[in-house]
Amino acid sequence: MDSDFRSDPMDSPEGEGIARRAWKGYVKAVDRHTPPAVLQAMNSAFEPLGSQVVEDMIGFWVMWHLYGGFEGLQEFGMHKSTIWRKVARFRRMTGEHPDVFKMPGITIDPKEYWASGVKKVGRPPKK
């Protein structure tokens, strides 16, 4: 049976607000060095696309490591041309292949992930 977290709510949708405070600190530092008119124009033009691309690339990087790379993503159901396209985009954005890229502050432990009792999406990679 799935847990019902409604009986154990957080004080706000932000949880304890740790990520929110870190983000606000970053934004404040950037805003100090960018003229307001430039910030407004850039945000209006690029924020929706940028958010989507970052979300997609972080998700791809996590899945790459959890599912065991190229072959694992194919087994998961991703078409190989999609994988090649995402690898190319990831390399353009980060300068590195997703297999060797290290994301500061984030570590992935596929063995622990697949050994945990949490319901997973898809099947684990072949051993």
70-74, 106-110, 122-126: segment of lowest average pLDDT: 122-126
Specify if 100 maps to a domain.
yes
Specify if 38 maps to a domain.
yes
Domain count, the chain: 1
> What is the torsional sign of CA 5, 6, 9, 12?
positive
pLDDT in tens, 48-92: 777 788 889 999 999 999 999 999 999 989 999 999 999 999 999
Average pLDDT of the residues of the chain: 82
Is the separation of the CB atoms in 74 and 87 below 8 Å?
A: no
Residue 121 has pLDDT above 80, yes or no: no
Which two structure tokens, joined as six digits, stand for 49? 């696309």
Specify if 4 maps to a domain.
no
- Euclidean distance between CA atoms 89 and 100, whole angstroms: 15
DSSP string, 71-118: HHHHHHT--HHHHHHHHHHHHHHHSS-TTT---TT----HHHHHHSSS
How confident is the model over 6-11, as a mean pLDDT? Answer: 67
Specify if 75 maps to a domain.
yes
Specify if 72 maps to a domain.
yes
The domain in which residue 65 lies consists of 17-115
**N- to C-terminal Cα separation, the chain:** 28
